[in-house]
Amino acid sequence: MNKTASESLRTFGSRCCPDPGERPFSAARAESAARSLELLAHPIRLTLLGILCRRGGEVCVCDLEAAVPVKQPTVSHHLRLLREAGLVQVERRGQWAHYRIDPQALAALSSEVGEVLSALRPKARKEKRA
């Protein structure tokens, strides 16, 4: 039976998996990060966020609906999710709703996603001297 390089470096009684303290984040932190990533993990929501960011100001919902290949109820659903997450704000004017990005919420989300990806980056392995 051939041993892999990692098996040959282990000593009797040593752990094969990292201790919980060595993990990139806690279960609660992973749950929170997953919710944030899930919010971003839809092409319609990303498209809507992109339009709102590029326009900078307020965008009428009719323009958002025209920019994506789905029907109005689906656009409303995705805008509601973005609104509930605090990423967009809405102002109603008569029958129309005008949406805008919340720059601080977007910056916080960007920072969180960056931290998550950074925590998942593999650490450089120390080479053992012979």
pLDDT in tens, 44-79: 999 999 999 999 889 999 999 999 999 999 999 999
The CATH architecture one would assign to domain 26-119 is: Orthogonal Bundle (1.10)
Q: Given this model, what pLDDT does residue 15 score?
A: 72
Q: Which residue has the higher pLDDT, 9 or 6?
A: 9
Longest CA pairwise span in the chain (Å): 76
Element (H, E) at 88: strand 88-93
Mean pLDDT of the chain: 86
Rounded Cα–Cα distance for residues 120 and 12 (Å): 28
Rounded Cα–Cα distance for residues 98 and 90 (Å): 6
DSSP secondary-structure letter at 20? G
Tell me the CA distances in angstroms from 17 to 14, 50, 121, 128, one per residue in order.
9, 40, 17, 19
Q: Given this model, what pLDDT does residue 5 score?
A: 53
pTM exceeds cut of 0.85: no
Mean pLDDT of all residues in 79-99: 95
Three-point CA angle 103, 110, 49, nearest 5°? 60
Mean pLDDT of all residues in 15-31: 74
Domain range annotation of the chain: 26-119
Rounded Cα–Cα distance for residues 105 and 85 (Å): 9
pLDDT exceeds cutoff 90 at 29: no
- Name every residue whose Cβ is closer than 8 Å to that of residue 50 and which is 6 or more positions away in sequence: none
pLDDT exceeds cutoff 70 at 19: no
Percent of the chain beyond pLDDT 90? Answer: 62
